[in-house]
C-alpha cells in the first residue's frame, strides 16, 4: 500500500489522493461505529432513533451518555460500546495520520540515504 523505503517519494498530487482515501476510510469507521451505537441504544435501551443517535454520538466523542439507562442490558451495552468507541476513535486517528507519518518517515530516510551517499 505504501512505497518501499528505497523507492522515490510519492508525488504530492498522488499523496493527496492517498490522504483522501484514508480520510474516507476514517469516516467509514466512524459511520460504522455510529450505526452500531444507534442500533444498540434503540434495541437495548428502547430509545427513539434520534435519542439513540444522540447517545451514540456523545459516547463516540467521549462526552458520555445523555439518557438515563434503566435496564441491565442497556447498561451493559453502553459499557461495551464505550470501550469499543475508545478503540474506534484511536483507530480512526491512526488511519487518518498513517499516510502523513509514512511520508514524513520516508522523507527522513531519503535524507539519511543522501547523507550516507555523500560520505562515500
Give yes or no for residue 119 having a pLDDT over 80: no
Give me the domains of the chain, ranges plus CATH numbers. Answer: 13-119 (1.10.287)
Q: pLDDT, tens digit, for every residue of 49-97?
A: 999 999 999 999 989 889 999 999 999 999 999 999 999 999 999 999 9
For 11, list phi and psi in degrees, rounded to 5: -60, 150
Tell me the pLDDT tens digit for each residue of 1-41.
787 777 888 899 999 999 999 999 999 999 999 999 999 99
**Is residue 101 classed as helix, strand or coil in its secondary structure?**
helix
State residue 5's pLDDT score: 74
Amino acid at each position: 500500500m505504501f512505497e518501499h523505503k528505497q523507492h522515490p517519494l510519492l508525488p504530492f498530487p498522488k499523496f493527496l489522493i492517498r490522504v483522501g482515501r484514508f480520510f474516507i476510510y476514517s469516516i467509514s469507521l466512524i459511520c460504522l461505529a455510529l450505526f452500531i451505537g444507534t442500533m444498540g441504544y434503540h434495541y437495548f435501551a428502547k430509545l427513539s432513533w434520534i435519542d439513540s443517535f444522540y447517545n451514540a454520538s456523545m459516547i463516540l466523542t467521549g462526552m458520555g451518555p445523555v439518557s438515563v439507562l434503566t435496564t441491565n442490558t442497556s447498561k451493559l451495552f453502553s459499557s461495551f460500546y464505550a470501550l469499543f468507541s475508545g478503540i474506534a476513535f484511536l483507530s480512526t486517528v491512526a488511519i487518518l495520520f498513517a499516510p502523513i507519518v509514512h511520508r514524513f518517515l520516508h522523507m527522513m530516510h531519503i535524507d539519511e540515504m543522501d547523507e550516507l551517499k555523500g560520505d562515500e
